[in-house]
Structure 1
Amino acid sequence: MRLHTMAVVAAMAGVVISTTAATTCDVTVSDPHVVVHLDESAGQTPEAVEVEPDGSADISFSAAGQVARVTLGGQVQVLGRLPRTGNCPVAGAPSSMGLARSSDGALYVLDCTGDANTGVWRISRGQAPVQLAALPPSGFPNGMVLDQLRGQLYIADSTLATVWRVPIGGGTPVAWATDPALARTSFLGANGISLHGGAVWVGNTDHGTILRIPMRPDGSAGAVQTVASGLGAVDSFTFVPGTDLVLVALPLADQIVLVHPDGRVRTLLTAADGLSGPTAVKVSNGTVYVCDGAVLSHIDPNLLVAHIDY
């Protein structure tokens, strides 16, 4: 999510969260440091992140229309370039958005262009990106998550109040869930998306909420439930592995916060640690990865990592 037109973030207050299971463990982070400082003038504005088995980070650069691999040593290798046609609604420019990685190493990325190139693209080793499915050009496909077991991608559309479902082999998108809770009010609605506990979870930026959409046994969507509110302008979020604890990126506040099932919220990382408009967060093998898109400041887009204990 690129929040070019939003000026301030509402103060975090009154957070309420409800889940079916409580988690009593807590989280600490240490040794936050920037792996690489990126070049906004070259379009290197990080949007989404996936982690490779060797610890490298695959990142979509929204303004450049690229997916790149960043090693923990700071080397940047472009893996694929997407079409730079048309203009993504709201963003005002073509934008590479959500990213997902399958177990065979293929990467799936969203291209938002406002034309026929809007949709899901696959990047396989040594091959040019291929469009798997076209999505409505009037939409803003933003966050994406892969359900490896079912072979489906779920995509949060920030302007059409819809979660799309697309087979990883390609095909016609299905409007898997539509609901007013996914809608925008002024800028962006459905944005970050995650899988957890037999449900698809979606963040709504304008509403400051996290939503839970159960998967029925037949694969269809259950009723949309609001499980967290009062969060401010949420972007990406992820569950701490093996727990119900949620890490949330708040780009306008320059924060990564931890949300407990009982509603407690604690700030884990701030601008003092090197954050600069965080747009994505992921946890892998004891490391938390944060993509900083320099959302408001346009200063120092970067990839930051820290050690995480829980």
Structure 2
Amino acid sequence: MTRLTRPARLPRLAAAVAAASALTVLVAAPASAGDPTVTDPHVIAHFDFQKGQTPENIALEPDGSADLTLAFAHKVVRVDKDGHRHPVAELPTVANPHSPNLGAAIATGIARAHDGTLYVAYATGTAETGIWRIGPDGGAPEQFASLPTDTFPNGIALDEECDTLYAADSARGLVWRVSLESGAATVWASGPALAPTAALPFGANGLKVHEGAVWVSNTAQGTLLRIPIGRASSHAAGPVESWATELPGIDDFAFTGHHGNTILAALILSDEVVLVRPDGSHKTVLTHADGLRNPTSVAVHAKQVYVPSAAYFAPPNTTPDPNLLLARISKNKL
């Protein structure tokens, strides 16, 4: 494999996020008796940054194995709970990528259907931009949905009951709705709350479907948003609700259980995972000292928390350490 050259815009992006973070005070709210506890963090797998093995997003298998997108390698790998990895698929190489803001071809969000089909977002700046599908038995990925070349599809999530996939668009500040039957994509939600800023060109980023709503993080604005899904046949987007603020550099996130609105969110620049309570207050539960290296996403399975780190912004004269961290979350708090 060719040696990875990090796009020049990544350091500038890091500086922009750091500057934005300096303008925002992350309030460490006092612990609540009802908070889940996160313990025993340990890194179970390390990756090679120079080969583009930068873990960006995660979907979980029923046995607890993690399907990871490796952004700059545009691959999907499966890592079991012992840290052993297995190749799943590789997205096609793009001859002249020019994705918004970064310029490279980037594999971003991933979601798993109940039958084992994997959906992967691919930002290239070319006709390959969109959602790609990998069958339950593997095989070559196929492009399932096309998106405009000036989009940056990022976090994705499935609503299989409504035959729908939702995708956050970080460049245009949108949420796309994709039919699982036809692959047709339409703009589902937009507006200032989802938009990037002049200082930081990444708006809507992480995305989850949870209890009748689409939840979206906005990296540029440091916010976590909730968008109700309409009950009519059109499933139109309701008004965008601000759920939590003062989360500078928020990337993707996960709910701690199938019910309730307690969230674990990755803050990519400050090397933190924070617990966001239903009232919007938050506290840090994992840090750089635990092994985080620019965490990009979070997943929860049973009593386990998974956190991929891409190590995009390693300090000068240090060796980047992309990795996958595993921790325990208290059962009785879910």
For normalisation by structure 1, the TM-score amounts to 0.93
The yes-or-no answer on 1:250 pairing with 2:231 is no
Mapped contact 1:259–1:265 kept (Cα < 8 A):
yes
Mapped contact 2:39–2:329 kept (Cα < 8 A):
yes
Mapped contact 2:68–2:76 kept (Cα < 8 A):
yes
Amino acid paired to 1:161: G
CA 303–14 in structure 1, closer or farther in 2 if over 3 Å, else same? closer
1:177, 1:263 → 2: CA distance?
Answer: 22
Amino acid paired to 2:302: N
Find the residue that maps to 2:284 and give its secondary structure. strand
1:149, 1:77 → 2: CA distance?
Answer: 30
Mapped contact 1:15–1:263 kept (Cα < 8 A):
no
Residue 155 of structure 1 and its aligned partner are, at CA, apart by: 0.3
The yes-or-no answer on 1:30 pairing with 2:39 is yes
Residue 204 of structure 1 and its aligned partner are, at CA, apart by: 0.5
1:36, 1:259 → 2: CA distance?
Answer: 26
Aligned-residue RMSD, C-alpha: 1.9
Q: 2:146 aligns with which of 134, 146, 168?
A: 134
* Paired position in structure 2 for 1:288: 305
The yes-or-no answer on 1:193 pairing with 2:203 is no
1:24, 1:221 → 2: CA distance?
Answer: 35
The yes-or-no answer on 1:303 pairing with 2:312 is no
CA 15–153 in structure 1, closer or farther in 2 if over 3 Å, else same? farther
2:100, 2:180 → 1: CA distance?
Answer: 25
Q: 1:263 aligns with which of 265, 280, 287?
A: 280
Q: 1:235 aligns with which of 246, 251, 260?
A: 251
Unaligned runs of 5+ in 2: 1-8
Q: Please say which of residues 147-156 and 93-102 is displaced more in the overlay.
A: 147-156
Unaligned runs of 5+ in 1: 17-22
Q: Please say which of residues 118-127 and 258-267 is displaced more in the overlay.
A: 258-267
Q: Which has the higher contact order (CA 8 A, sep 6+)?
A: 1
State the percentage of identical aligned residues. 47
Q: Determine which structure has the larger helix proportion and give its number.
A: 2
Find the residue that maps to 1:263 and give its secondary structure. coil
Mapping for residues 6-85 of structure 1, pairs under 5 Å: 6-7=14-15, 8=18, 10=21, 13=25, 25-85=34-94
Find the residue that maps to 2:14 and give its secondary structure. coil
Moved over 3 A (4+): none
1:128, 1:295 → 2: CA distance?
Answer: 28
Mapped contact 2:145–2:178 kept (Cα < 8 A):
yes
